[in-house]
Amino acid sequence: MQIFAAGNLYTGQFVKANISVSDPGAELDWGVEFTARPLALRGYYDYRPVTVNRGSHNGMNGQMDIGQIQVMLTDWDAPFRVNTSSEQFVDTVNDPAIIAYGTMDLNSTGESYQEFEIPLEYRDMTRTPKYIVIVAAASKYGDYFTGGEGSTLYVDEFSFVYDPSDLMTPPEMTVGE
């Protein structure tokens, strides 16, 4: 039996692989200590997807693969233990410990790097972050063992934007509220 494992980079640590034909997976600790409040994550990516030929999560089999870069600031007491065997993943929509979140789905870039900027949407401006998680995945649904063998994602020059005047797209301003 062959198991699909998507290529990905993340801030944190690999804990262990669950080597089992009936229940394959891995445990990862997502997050490293971080207390700043950036406005955005900026960098460059080169993404070359192929057709999804492994797994069928979210009806993706036979569709063009999708890459993803996501960033979150949290005030967890420890890194989040992802367990793909038991499908224990971060709930990026409902986790109350997520202070700020940003994500970008990726399509083909051709054969060159493209600059990107992912704005962080703050859910709470009163709490101080304890951890940052950055994940770059060649297959968005790789944690469900779904993706295209051969999808390739290159990333480079990650940096944070702190000054609003440095943003590629200035935030929308609401007047009178």
| Domain containing residue 131: CATH number | 2.60.120.890
Q: Can you give the pLDDT at residue 127? A: 95
Q: Is 176 inside a domain boundary?
A: no
Token pair recorded at residue 121? 């949407």
pLDDT of residue 2: 61
Q: Is residue 169 part of a domain?
A: no
Whether this prediction's pTM lies above 0.75 is answered by yes
DSSP conformation class of 56:
-
66: nearest Cα among 131, 144, 165, 171: 144
Nearest-angstrom CA–CA distance, 88 and 102 = 20
What does the alpha-carbon distance between residue 62 and residue 176 come to, in Å, rounded to a whole number?
Answer: 49
**What pLDDT sits at residue 20?**
65
Instruction: Please provide the DSSP assignment of 62-95 as one string.
Output: TSBP-EEEEEEEE--SS-EEEETTTTB---TTT-
| Cβ 44 vs Cβ 157: under 8 Å | yes
Q: What is the DSSP letter of 147?
A: B
Q: Is residue 1 part of a domain?
A: no
Residue 172 domain-assigned?
Answer: no
Residue-wise pLDDT tens digits, 56-111:
777 778 888 899 999 999 999 999 888 877 777 888 999 999 999 999 999 877 78
Residue 167 lies in a domain: no
Going by the DSSP 8-state scheme, the letter that residue 166 receives in this structure is G
Residue 173 placed within a domain: no
Q: For residue 69, give Cα distances in angstroms to 43, 55, 62, 91, 154.
A: 11, 21, 22, 16, 11
Q: How many structural domains compose the chain? A: 1
Each residue's pLDDT tens digit, 14-52? 888 777 666 667 788 889 999 999 999 999 999 999 888
Mean pLDDT value of segment 132-147 = 85
